[in-house]
Structure 1
Amino acid sequence: MDVSYFLMRLHNIINLESFPLFCIYLLMISLSGYWQKWTKPLNLKPLLVVHNFICCVASFYTFYGFTRGVYKSGYLYSKEVTEELTFVFWVYYMTKIVELMDTVFMILRHRQRQISFLHVFHHSSMLLLGNFGYVCFPYPCIAVFESLNSLIHVALYLYYGLTAVAPNNPPQWRKLLTQMQIVQFLIDFVISFYGIVYHSFCIYSVFYSAAMAFLFSNFYYRAYVRKRKQPEDKIKSN
């Protein structure tokens, strides 16, 4: 690997406007245990409903905008820059900032167990990548990945919104959503690999899609495949 190329990319990321927010986000998570220790959980149901449905609608807009931009380009691997598509990239980047509130709500509600490595890695990396795509690569070929992510987030935030309204939603929704996320990153991997071979794509796109597919597959295995242990309260009652 060319070290100078790697350092140049690292320099570009550090100089993104989202990088300070990225650092604040990680710092907030590292200190979140103190909030749980010194406060009581907050009831944020109305706010959660509004937040999730706003994210759902915003994701639908970016899905439509990206899909339209790729279609109008006429080629899946096009690197043509248009004002219309660049604006959609900006909106997408803004949604990645708003989606950080997912973690904030978890902290305020004392849902510390939900703040997993997968959750933090996904949210923080998408913040940087959303900003990086908008600033450096607002191309139709990159919009393909963002379009898939937006489509998944339409379903994801619709589920979160419905769960906030009625907490007893069918649990199979969660399983299906995880399956959709795994499929998304497998498709990303295939598109990235072909792009590297024939269209000079950055090799990190393959690494990222492979890493996310692995992390979501690992979560799926632990949550839905591996035999679960007996609930703690059931063990205590025996």
Structure 2
Amino acid sequence: MAPEKTEEKEAQTHTPTREKMEKREAQTHTPTSETELEQLKYNGKWAAVITILTFTYGDVTVAHSLPPDPRQKDWWMTWSPYPILVISMLYIAAVTCWGPRYMAKRKPIGGLRPLMMAYNAFQVVFSFWMFWEGGMGGWFFEYKLMCEPCDFSNNSKPVKMMNLGYWYMFSKFVDFIDTVFFVMHKKTSHISLLHVSHHALMPVGLYYGIRFQPGGHGTLMGLLNSFVHAVMYLYYLLAAMGPKVRPFLWWKKYLTTLQMTQFTIVFFHALALNVVECETPLPPPLHRWLMGQAVIFFGLFSDFYIKAYQRKDKTKQKIRAEGMSNGVANGKLHTVTHEVMADVFPCVPAGFDEVMIRDRIRAHH
């Protein structure tokens, strides 16, 4: 009798989970609606507008008021901002129009989990390398917190910082892969206006910083951003390893706080130049751009924080009110997925929600 009851209990417990997975899978395989495609086109249109405005500001204010760094005159992708603008515009078109339209009546591409985990691992190493190089290039020991001028000499440290700036700009093209995975998985809700705008405008805006001021005060943004990206991709890499790792990921909620802290520091670090008198005046156009970017991204992540965690708190209150516990009650499984997080945090591995579900079932037992 005991074994039969145990098997019956397991069947009753796991059946809703399988049904929910099958239902979600069926929904995933549903052809993309015209409404979704139109929304993506809308996101792409405004992302293109924001990217072009960023390009215009850099071309009108920075490029016409500062001399370019002569050390980069023969470097690929630094002789002109137009190739970078074209690549960003092609990215927007590919992820908001061409790609989703191609995948509209097709099933999501499977078998990408190992590739995505490898991508996350690469991003962890690449981001931490940039953080370390930025620190060793000046910020750990030599740079002043305020009024650090850009050194255009051919000494080893300035050249290290200049090279790092180039690789940092290159890393923003690598970040495009985040959205490519969304398209391949038909996660159209993740391809939001904020997500696409953020990815598209970064390389365009960074061109003007790298080409005209590849060192000094403004590079703090790249240092902090590289560290945050290393932590962020590490979280997703570890989370994809399964429920055994999840108890050690209690720091998930602080990822967003870390992001907002980063943008706050960058904003006030740039703003301080308006009240601090520097011996070597630093270019105002670049610092206005830094402040503007910090405000935009701070707003983006503040919106994320409200959506992701206030919604999660409301869900918990509802579960308690209905007498539920451990996310399982009345034969139904309740779980908070990463739908909202993917709008701004990239590359949630395929199958991650299933890992969350299995983890909650084990915790219930």
CA shift for structure 1 position 193 = 0.4
**Shift in CA distance, 178/34, structure 1 to aligned 2, threshold 3 Å:** same
Q: Secondary structure at the match of 2:83?
A: coil
CA shift for structure 1 position 86 = 0.8
Which of residues 103, 110, 125 is equivalent to 1:57? 125
**Quick check: 1:145–1:188 contact (8 Å CA) kept in 2?**
yes
Task: Please report the TM-score for the alignment, with normalisation by the length of structure 2.
Answer: 0.57
Which of residues 107, 112, 116 is equivalent to 1:40? 107
In the alignment, the residues of structure 2 paired with residue 164 and residue 9 of structure 1 have an alpha-carbon distance, to the nearest angstrom, of: 44
Q: Equivalences for 1:167-182 in 2 at 5 Å?
A: 169=246, 172-182=250-260
Which residue of structure 2 aligns with residue 162 of structure 1? 238
Which range moved further: 62-71 or 85-94?
Answer: 62-71
**Residue type matched to 1:8 in 2?**
V
Task: Please report the TM-score for the alignment, with normalisation by the length of structure 1.
Answer: 0.84
In the alignment, the residues of structure 2 paired with residue 218 and residue 101 of structure 1 have an alpha-carbon distance, to the nearest angstrom, of: 23
Which residue of structure 2 aligns with residue 74 of structure 1? 143
In the alignment, the residues of structure 2 paired with residue 228 and residue 109 of structure 1 have an alpha-carbon distance, to the nearest angstrom, of: 29
In the alignment, the residues of structure 1 paired with residue 295 and residue 85 of structure 2 have an alpha-carbon distance, to the nearest angstrom, of: 23
Which of residues 87, 92, 97 is equivalent to 1:26? 92
**Quick check: 1:67–1:144 contact (8 Å CA) kept in 2?**
no
Which range moved further: 121-130 or 137-146?
Answer: 121-130
Deviation per residue, 1:166-186 (Å, 9 max, x gap): 378467544221111011101
Q: Does 1:183 align with 2:261?
A: yes
Aligned CA RMSD, in angstroms, stands at 2.9
In the alignment, the residues of structure 2 paired with residue 128 and residue 7 of structure 1 have an alpha-carbon distance, to the nearest angstrom, of: 10
CA shift for structure 1 position 16 = 4.0
In the alignment, the residues of structure 1 paired with residue 306 and residue 120 of structure 2 have an alpha-carbon distance, to the nearest angstrom, of: 26
Count of matched residue pairs: 230
**Quick check: 2:169–2:207 contact (8 Å CA) kept in 1?**
yes
Which residue of structure 1 aligns with residue 67 of structure 2? none
CA shift for structure 1 position 56 = 0.9
Structure with greater helix percent = 1
In the alignment, the residues of structure 2 paired with residue 125 and residue 208 of structure 1 have an alpha-carbon distance, to the nearest angstrom, of: 10
Deviation per residue, 1:32-57 (Å, 9 max, x gap): 43133122112211110111111111
**Shift in CA distance, 144/206, structure 1 to aligned 2, threshold 3 Å:** same
In the alignment, the residues of structure 2 paired with residue 64 and residue 92 of structure 1 have an alpha-carbon distance, to the nearest angstrom, of: 12
Pair member with larger Rg: 2
Which residue of structure 2 aligns with residue 8 of structure 1? 60
Which of residues 160, 182, 207 is equivalent to 1:84? 160
In the alignment, the residues of structure 1 paired with residue 58 and residue 91 of structure 2 have an alpha-carbon distance, to the nearest angstrom, of: 24
**Quick check: 2:161–2:214 contact (8 Å CA) kept in 1?**
yes
**Quick check: 2:218–2:290 contact (8 Å CA) kept in 1?**
no
Q: Secondary structure at the match of 2:121?
A: helix
**Quick check: 1:41–1:109 contact (8 Å CA) kept in 2?**
yes
**Residue type matched to 1:102 in 2?**
D
Q: Does 1:215 align with 2:283?
A: no
Q: Equivalences for 1:184-199 in 2 at 5 Å?
A: 184-198=262-276, 199=282
**Quick check: 2:271–2:291 contact (8 Å CA) kept in 1?**
yes
**Quick check: 2:127–2:230 contact (8 Å CA) kept in 1?**
yes
Q: Secondary structure at the match of 1:139?
A: coil
Which residue of structure 2 aligns with residue 131 of structure 1? 207
Q: Does 1:201 align with 2:284?
A: yes
CA shift for structure 1 position 22 = 0.5
Task: In structure 1, list runs of 5 or more residues that go unmatched.
Answer: none
Q: Secondary structure at the match of 2:298?
A: helix
**Shift in CA distance, 136/10, structure 1 to aligned 2, threshold 3 Å:** closer
Which residue of structure 2 aligns with residue 122 of structure 1? 198
**Shift in CA distance, 192/223, structure 1 to aligned 2, threshold 3 Å:** same
In the alignment, the residues of structure 2 paired with residue 188 and residue 10 of structure 1 have an alpha-carbon distance, to the nearest angstrom, of: 19
